[in-house]
Structure 1
Amino acid sequence: MVSGGTHCYITSVQAPATSEASVSGTSSSPRWKKWGLNLLGAAVSIGCLWWAAADMLSTPEKRAEIANAFRNANYWMLIPFWAALFGFYWLKAWRWRLLLKPLGDFRPLRDLIRPILIGFGYNNVLPAHLGEFVRVFVMGRKHRLPMTAVLSSVVLERVFDIFAIVAFMGLGLLFVPDVDPDIKRYGLMGAASASVLVAGAFLFVIWTDPFVRLFEAVLSRIPFLPKGLAAKLAGLLESAADGLHSLHSPGLLIGIFGSSLAQWALNGWMMYLALQSFGIHESPWVSCILLAAVAFGVTVPSTPGYVGVIQALFWLVLRQFTDDKAGVLGASIVYQFAQWVPVTVLGLYFFSRTGLKVSQVQQAAETTPDTHLAANAPPAS
């Protein structure tokens, strides 16, 4: 779902030998902290699933409603659903190609879609969105690219994702008249916060050097910030800044923005198809609101694959428009697992073909700075 040029800047950027941050748990991060986060994620998933589905499982009549919803669903909708899923990933590879222009001229299908599927496949089985670093590691090793440079492209990718999600959320809130006032208020507050982030990213792209100098000046005036951490943050930003020089091209930026909007439109369309298959005929604008809720909602700690969280988010939004809870629950399950199964199978298969081991990825994660920046962001599906 994402998308030759000069090699001069990025090939000289190397990851520092040590880091205070780690995706898998470094020596500076106590094991209890990692296990605590995993337990918190499990508790969140169980709580969300209970809130979304407990009453539907409480009586034989309610369970029969769920069975009937699945029995009467239109599974022919999976054909356009999977076509949209393929388009989503192709667009993601195409956009990543544009973001990686400073590193070289990569082909979306031959070079990029496999690392992307590997990353999302591992996101589905590893906690804390750690699949993003697996994607970065595979891409870096296969093409002999500096890890920090590839990581910067993934972080920047997330900025464009936020732009697209906020745009569709705004359209949904604008064109759906019967939105609960609380949802509209919180949605607009979230959109405003995200817009500030996106605006900062735009300023970063346009006035890169002054932005970096300002960032370093602010860090130097924070008394409680360790100098080592400040230096690492500034170094990561400077690495990303070098890579942004190629994005000053208007044509390149238009391509990145356009592909970002197109891939998230396909994601919203997949939600719309899942709802239609269970007889919930709401406006596509409702799916825009649902898209934003799911994209931002799954960033909370949860189990891999976001089981329970997606079901809760579907019902949280759609209860404003329908009382068919069995249909909503069924649609959320189909939307989730019609992606989870093919992406996970393909991702793990492609990883097995690389000859790499998960232990190698974990070791690299412990020596690459701020790997959590790519992980803790809205996922692409």
Structure 2
Amino acid sequence: MPFGVNIDLDRKARVTLLVAILLAGVLLYFSFRGIDMAELEKTLKSARFAPLFMASILSMIALWLRSYRWRVLLNCSNTLPIGMVFWANALGYLGNNVLPARMGELLRVEALKRCYEISRSFLLATALIERVMDAGVLVLFTSAALITIPGLPHWLQRASKTFSILSSIGILGLFLLPHAEKYVLRILSGIPKLSSVVLRFLDGLRSLHSWWRSSQFLLLTLVIWPMDSYTGVLVAQSIDVPLQFQTSMVVLAALGLSSAVPSTPGYVGVFQFVAVNVLSPFGISNAAALAWILIYQAVTYVVQAIFGLIGFGVLSKFQASQVPGATPSPLPLDV
């Protein structure tokens, strides 16, 4: 496997993959059950090029911004070229689309480690920070979007306000935690197993000791997800599906959070099921919802495949000693 990533699965991983395949089959069945396939085919064929082209451009920009955001975490004491981080990140997304168990995360980590000899635990920790921040922002945006959508039950609007407050507190806590590291470790000193997990998490959080770096990371996160939502709107416009920006935010948040469940490469089955069930209450037919998610996935997968394959070619040529600015030892974690 490239960059030293081993795809030989142990017994537990094989069982997880089997569960993911079975789950994907069940979810696909319920997603396509009762669908008028002729209507679905007609909708897919009606997709217009201009909105899809703009959606592809936005998807490229979002991929670059995600790479820049990861670089903000990585550059706690060293400067990595944005190009190398971009190629590694694109390769990781490609890996998630074609490999089981989100192994693309390991692929992007090993690709950078191969070039720069950065600590693997530090790279994995920064990737974890990205995922945690994304989850918090998705909950915040979803709650805010639900508040602005008219006609929703009062209990749902009240719950949305509560989740907005809780997610805001969680995001704030994420940025304050690096500045209270010694107190956290003191509290966890009596729980060795939990302490080891938190220590790895704190490795990544040390990147956020700088308030300037923290602000950049948060700002980029707040820009990336609305951009993805507008990409969803453009995809909907290409097939004349009445998808509002707030609704696109809600369904993309549901897709992002659903990626945490065991799934096949490319989240086949999971994403189709989520799209159909989330968009249905907003008056979008199951056939239209399926057409939307299939085209949205196709747009993002094509972009990620193109840049991921280029990244594979670029990164395969380098060893750590060959890359300009490469460090012979792991990056220091303190600022």
TM over 0.5, shorter chain: yes
Q: Partner of 2:226 in structure 1?
A: 265
Query: Would you say 1:177 and 2:138 are equivalent positions?
Result: no
Q: Partner of 1:379 in structure 2?
A: none
Report the AA paired with residue 22 of structure 2. Answer: A
Residues in 2 aligned to 1:41 and 1:180: alpha-carbon distance in whole angstroms: 34
- Give the CA deviation at 1:142: 0.6
Query: Would you say 1:77 and 2:41 are equivalent positions?
Result: no
Q: Partner of 2:60 in structure 1?
A: 86
Deviation string, structure 1 residues 312-349 (Cα, Å, up to 9, x no partner): 11111111122432222111100011111331243244
Residues in 2 aligned to 1:51 and 1:44: alpha-carbon distance in whole angstroms: 11
Query: Would you say 1:141 and 2:111 are equivalent positions?
Result: no
* Corresponding residue SS for 2:79: coil
> Matches of residues 158-307 of structure 1 in structure 2 within 5 Å?
158-179=131-152, 197-217=170-190, 219-220=191-192, 229=193, 232-233=196-197, 235-237=199-201, 239-240=203-204, 243-244=206-207, 247-307=208-268
Task: Identify if the C-alpha distance between structure 1 residues 230 and 295 changes in structure 2 by more than 3 Å, giving closer, same or farther.
Answer: closer
Task: Identify if the C-alpha distance between structure 1 residues 211 and 280 changes in structure 2 by more than 3 Å, giving closer, same or farther.
Answer: same
State whether residues 25 and 34 of structure 1, in contact with CA within 8 Å, keep that contact through their aligned partners in structure 2.
no
State whether residues 172 and 287 of structure 1, in contact with CA within 8 Å, keep that contact through their aligned partners in structure 2.
no
- 1:155 aligned to 119, 128, 150, which one? 128
Query: Would you say 1:51 and 2:30 are equivalent positions?
Result: yes
- Give the CA deviation at 1:240: 3.6
Q: How many residues are aligned here? A: 313
- Give the CA deviation at 1:194: 5.2
Q: Partner of 1:334 in structure 2?
A: 295
* Corresponding residue SS for 1:288: helix
State whether residues 91 and 259 of structure 1, in contact with CA within 8 Å, keep that contact through their aligned partners in structure 2.
yes
Report the AA paired with residue 239 of structure 1. Answer: D
- Give the CA deviation at 1:113: 0.5
State whether residues 44 and 302 of structure 1, in contact with CA within 8 Å, keep that contact through their aligned partners in structure 2.
yes
Of 191-200 and 82-91, deviating more is: 191-200
Task: Identify if the C-alpha distance between structure 1 residues 82 and 32 changes in structure 2 by more than 3 Å, giving closer, same or farther.
Answer: same
Residues in 2 aligned to 1:121 and 1:182: alpha-carbon distance in whole angstroms: 40
Of 84-93 and 174-183, deviating more is: 174-183
Residues in 1 aligned to 2:109 and 2:30: alpha-carbon distance in whole angstroms: 36
Task: Identify if the C-alpha distance between structure 1 residues 179 and 52 changes in structure 2 by more than 3 Å, giving closer, same or farther.
Answer: farther
State whether residues 171 and 288 of structure 1, in contact with CA within 8 Å, keep that contact through their aligned partners in structure 2.
no
Deviation string, structure 1 residues 145-175 (Cα, Å, up to 9, x no partner): 1111222211222232123212211221110
- 2:18 aligned to 31, 39, 42, which one? 39
State whether residues 43 and 239 of structure 2, in contact with CA within 8 Å, keep that contact through their aligned partners in structure 1.
yes
Residues in 1 aligned to 2:18 and 2:279: alpha-carbon distance in whole angstroms: 29
- Give the CA deviation at 1:184: 6.2
- Give the CA deviation at 1:290: 0.9
Task: Identify if the C-alpha distance between structure 1 residues 323 and 151 changes in structure 2 by more than 3 Å, giving closer, same or farther.
Answer: closer
Sequence identity of aligned pairs in percent? 24
**Gaps (5+ residues) in structure 1?**
1-21, 57-61, 221-228, 357-381
**Gaps (5+ residues) in structure 2?**
318-335
- Give the CA deviation at 1:54: 2.5
Report the AA paired with residue 220 of structure 2. Answer: S
Task: Identify if the C-alpha distance between structure 1 residues 293 and 186 changes in structure 2 by more than 3 Å, giving closer, same or farther.
Answer: farther
Query: Would you say 1:97 and 2:97 are equivalent positions?
Result: no
Task: Identify if the C-alpha distance between structure 1 residues 178 and 39 changes in structure 2 by more than 3 Å, giving closer, same or farther.
Answer: farther
Task: Identify if the C-alpha distance between structure 1 residues 330 and 127 changes in structure 2 by more than 3 Å, giving closer, same or farther.
Answer: same
- Alignment RMSD, CA only? 2.7
Output the TM-score relative to the length of structure 2. 0.83
Output the TM-score relative to the length of structure 1. 0.74
